[in-house]
Amino acid sequence: MVERAHGGGVAQGVAARDVKLPAVTRRPALWAGCYVLWLAVLYGLSSLNSVSGPEISHIDKVEHALYFTAGSVALGLALTLRPGGLSRRRPLVLGAVLVAAALAVGLADEWHQSHVPGRQGNDLGDLIADVTGGLLGALVLPLARTWLTRTAGGETG
C-alpha cells in the first residue's frame, strides 16, 4: 500500500506494482474461455442490422483492429500458458498462428455479415484491419504475459 497526502489527510492508494491478480488468471482455460466469449460477442455484433456510433471516417477500421488485438491476446495467452503450449521462444510461429486465426475469423465474420440484412460484408478494409489486429495482438502478447506474470505471481510457461 502507498500512502498519499490528499486534501490535508492521508489517503490509502494502491501502487500498480502492489496489485495482485488471483492465480486463476494464469490458467489457459480462463483465456480460452475469454476467446470463446470474444467470438460470441463478435458474432452478436455482426448479426446486428446496423451499428450506431459516431460518424468518424474509417473509425470502424480502428474498432476492428482494436477488437481483434484483444482477441489475439486472449488466444495467445490460452496457447502459451498451457504446459507444452506454444513457447515464447518461438515468437514467429506464435505470431503466425495469431495472424492466421485473425484472418480466418475475419473471413468468417465478413462472410457472415454478407448474409445479414442491412450489412455489407466482404469488406477488404475490415479484413485488413482484422489481420492488423492479429499482428498487434502478437506484438502486445509478450507485454501482457509479463504483466500477468508480475501481477499474478510466478513464472508462466
| 157 within some domain | no
Q: Give domain status of residue 106, yes or no.
A: yes
How far is the C-alpha of 110 from the C-alpha of 72, rounded, in Å?
18
Domain that holds residue 35: 22-152
Look at residue 18 in the predicted model and tell me its pLDDT: 60
- The span from the CA of 131 to the CA of 67, in Å, is 11
Instruction: Please say whether the beta carbons of 146 and 20 come within 8 A.
Output: no
Q: Are 40 and 71 in contact (CB under 8 A)?
A: no
Residue 139 within a domain? yes
Nearest to 38 by CA among 87, 109, 95, 141: 109
Asked if residue 9 belongs to a domain, the reply is: no
Rounded Cα distance between 81 and 99, Å, is 18
Per-residue model confidence (pLDDT) at position 12? 55
Give a yes or no: residue 55 inside a domain.
yes
Whether 1 is covered by a domain: the verdict is no
Strands (E), 1-154: 2-6, 9-13
Position 50: which residue type?
S
Q: Are strands 9-13 and 2-6 parallel, antiparallel or unpaired?
A: antiparallel
pTM assigned to the model:
0.80
The pLDDT tens digits along the chain (157 residues) read: 444 455 554 555 555 556 677 888 889 999 999 999 999 999 999 998 876 666 778 888 999 999 999 999 999 999 988 777 776 678 899 999 999 999 999 999 999 999 999 888 889 999 999 999 999 999 999 999 888 878 876 554 4
Is residue 126 domain-resident?
yes
Instruction: Compute the CA torsion angle 70, 47, 37, 20 (nearest 10 deg).
Output: 50
- Per the structure, the count of domains in the chain is 1
Q: Is residue 15 part of a domain?
A: no
Whole-number pLDDT of residue 157: 46
Provide the Cα torsion 44, 24, 104, 64; round to 10°: 60
pLDDT (0 to 100) of residue 88: 65
Per-residue model confidence (pLDDT) at position 90: 84
